[in-house]
Structure 1
């Protein structure tokens, strides 16, 4: 019976991912209805904590966007990338990583992709190289940033006071080494641009050739002027990150309120980290609006804010369905896999990677699969080491950041192959994830 139920779960995820948008969420609810009405399963608890975390963090990021803070951060990243264009394959991925690490979202990479494509093409560096690694780097930043929903969700699942700081301690240096390995893996990938037949054919068009002239800085390009209050918004956002890190690093700073354990209060009587993150981020959002005179209407119109509804519906559906399946089959799953993951804990990373590829969501994958890792007895340090595996969303080239990189590369070097999975991101993605996890295991054994 478990195989029939698993087939239903996977079918709902596959259909939902093909529908895109809120498809994953609504199909998850269809699966949940089938489990409850047909198989008489008891519904699991809905993922309230992760939904509230997403609401809080994305609202704060959208406020930063409305105040001009994201544009200001992008302008800094652009200057770094353009400063040494010949080394763009090395500079662009790390610049992208730190930008997304600070912002807590990979979607900010859309602003950098056209810059990376333009600079690399004009330097006759194959754009596929810096573009592909930069996209992967933007995803890895999610599993290290204290301002990402995925990292906050894992901290809530692990449920110990310093989980947030441990995520950063392990995942950030591991990801940096993984990105470097990925850069080395693609630095000679494909033929050089000035020998690429597709590019040479495009260069026969005089207008295209003129746009590829290294001396052309862009017709009508206007120098960026920060929006009033943009720098202050970034400062407030940075202060919120610092507060979250401080509370994670020094549990003694977390307020003791006593009382019975609840959603907001831990077993030791202190306010739990999930509640602290929600309070800090939404308070930061209020401060940004008050100090920079950003209206609530502006925040509600931001692309990050509108994308929040999609994320909430998707995670509610797929996580609730998956949690119900896990709850009903917990004994079978534990009996089947516990011995394997006890001896070879790294094998759990495969499940994380494949679920990430199916759901296209690090937060949903974290909330769905990580509790099973805890139930199987995998240690917290090892779960931290495997956390970057949730970035399997590059396996199938349907994630928006991948498609955007392909669209921005006018040379045609960044592409989806004949067999779909042999696309420009597969090699840097697999190398980066594998090396990051390996280094994560080493660091977790040394530091935790």
Structure 2
């Protein structure tokens, strides 16, 4: 009977995720909360703990980053990134993904990529590089960047899960595994991606368009002007925000400089919240953005949607896991201990289905921790599996990349997995997961 109940409750959990995925956005949170109600009222389970700490981090980070965006900070970062990419155009399949990745890490959002897409496309084509190569890997690289950013919603969810006892695995412990693993994955993937598709001179479709005068020959195209303009206020806002990110990293590295609470260094959860509030306030004082326009910012809207989805789904999974911890340990523990890649596959699949790294974190990571995977190993595989959000051509940045590629080399396909991003997604996931697993074992630590 107990097994039947567990299975039925699992069906409720999976059903809520599927229904939320079909509607997307805030519906993920709505169906997650509805699932909690079913577990409590129908099956008599005690409600789990809502992810309050993670939500508060998300809210403060979204507020500070929205202040930066409103003041023009993201526009300034984009212009800096474009100059770096333009400096080494022949190595664009490596440089563009690395720059896109690092700037997404610093900003805590992949939105920074959108204005860069036409620049990457034009620079690559003008220098004889098939645009689909740097465009596809740049898009996928921003997905795993959020597992390395101190100010992403996914990191907020992860820290809230691992910082507590018995794991005591803090943000810096996670980043020292995920950041080098992601960079290794991007570098290795660039060698593979740089061989995908025909060279421009050998592509009959592109050559036919050039012959008809529909497309200029490589070398004749001009570098497109960015649609965004850097301002002094934007520069100041970006620098203040990046200083806030740097402060979080410093406090993460040096526990001794943190304020003490009950004789112990303060946890990073509260520090991140305070630093982000302070960062937003400094941007307000120095740059004077019109705060009434904050809700109109894309970062704010996306962040609020993520917070609602995180709330409902995390509460649902916590309720289920708390009620059946012993069953999960006994039933799944041996499997993931013998084959840890099963955990990575779980994160990858949820990313594919929900296109949300924070949702995958709150859904699968608690199961991995409960089943006994060491936090270091878990963190390494978790980061690489984030590439899964681009396995299907449903993400806005994929559509934008295809539209900005005037050569037509970047394709969305017609059979779900025959698009330009499919192979880069799989390759980056495999290389990053492998590198992350190794780093997690060697330097990751944890219980």
| Residues 350 and 30 of structure 1, relative CA distance in 2, 3 Å threshold | same
1:8-34 deviation line (CA, Å, top 9, x unaligned): 333332332232322222232333333
Instruction: For 1:15-26, list aligned pairs within 5 A.
Output: 15-26=19-30
Whether contact under 8 Å (2:255, 2:265) holds in the other structure is no
Q: Aligned residue for 2:304?
A: 309
Q: Which residue of 2 aligns with 1:385?
A: 380
Paired with 1:418 and 1:302, the residues of 2 have a C-alpha distance of 33
Indicate if the aligned counterparts of 2:378 and 2:440 stay in contact, CA closer than 8 A: no
How has the CA–CA distance of structure 1 residues 399 and 224 changed in structure 2, closer, same or farther, with 3 Å as cutoff?
closer
Number of the residue aligned with 1:169: 176
Q: Structure 1 216/301 Cα, relative in aligned 2: closer, same or farther at 3 Å?
A: same
Q: Secondary structure at the match of 1:229?
A: helix
Q: Which of these residues, 244, 251, 256, is aligned with residue 252 of structure 1? A: 256
Residues 1:223 and 1:329: Cα distance change in structure 2 (over 3 Å): closer
2:332 matched to 1:337? yes
Which residue is equivalent to 1:217?
Answer: 222
* Among candidates 406, 410, 425, match of residue 410 of structure 1: 406
Matches of 1:356 and 1:32, distance apart in 2: 22
Contact 1:53/1:152 (<8 A) preserved: yes
Work out the number of aligned pairs and report it: 436
Please name the residue that 2:202 is paired with: 195
Counterpart position of 1:419: 415
Q: Which residue number corresponds to residue 280 of structure 1?
A: 275
Q: Which residue of 2 aligns with 1:294?
A: 289
Q: Within 5 Å, give how 1:4-153 maps onto structure 2.
A: 4-153=8-157
Q: Is the 8 A contact 1:58 1:308 kept in 2?
A: yes
Asked if structure 1 preserves the Cα contact closer than 8 Å seen for 2:75 and 2:229, the reply is no
CA distance in 2, matches of 1:215, 1:117: 14
Shift in alpha-carbon separation, 1:362–1:223, aligned structure 2, 3 A: closer
Tell me if the contact between 2:162 and 2:169 (Cα under 8 Å) persists in the aligned partners: no
Segment drifting more, 166-175 vs 151-160: 151-160
Shift in Å at residue 269 of structure 1? 4.4
Q: Helix, strand or coil: the match of 1:143?
A: coil
Residues 216, 330 of structure 1: CA spacing in aligned structure 2 closer, same or farther, 3 A cutoff?
Answer: same
Label 1:36 to 1:165 Cα distance change in 2 as closer, same or farther (>3 A).
same
Which sections of structure 2, spanning at least 5 residues, go unmatched? none
Q: Distance in 2 between matches of 1:237 and 1:143?
A: 19
Q: Cα offset for 1:391?
A: 3.8
Partner of 1:186 in structure 2?
193
Q: Secondary structure at the match of 2:260?
A: coil
Deviation at 1:213, TM superposition (A): 6.0
Change (3 A) 1:10 1:399: farther
By how many angstroms is 1:443 displaced?
A: 2.0
Q: What 5-or-longer segments of structure 1 have no aligned partner?
A: 259-267
Q: Deviations over 1:32-84 (max 9, x none)?
A: 33333333332211111111111111111111111111111100111122223
* Kept after mapping to 1: 8 A contact 2:60/2:277: yes
Equivalent position of 1:399 in the other structure = 395
The 8 Å contact of residues 115 and 227 in structure 2, kept in 1 or not, is answered as no
1:356 lines up with 2:354 in the alignment:
no
Per the normalisation by structure 2, the TM-score is 0.91
Assess if the C-alpha contact under 8 Å between 1:244 and 1:277 holds in 2: yes
| Separation of aligned partners in 1, 2:429 and 2:307 | 26
Is contact 1:366-1:390 (8 Å) kept? no
RMSD: 2.3
Give me the whole-angstrom Cα distance separating, in 1, the residues matched to 2:7 and 2:325.
14
Contact 2:64–2:276 (8 Å) recurs in 1: yes
Matched, 1:446 2:446: no
Higher mean alpha-carbon deviation, 425-434 vs 193-202, is at 193-202
Structure 1 residue 223, shift from structure 2 partner? 9.3
Contact 1:162 1:250 in 2 (8 A): no
Structure 2 distance, partners of 1:69, 1:189, is 35
Q: Distance in 1 between matches of 2:161 and 2:125?
A: 44
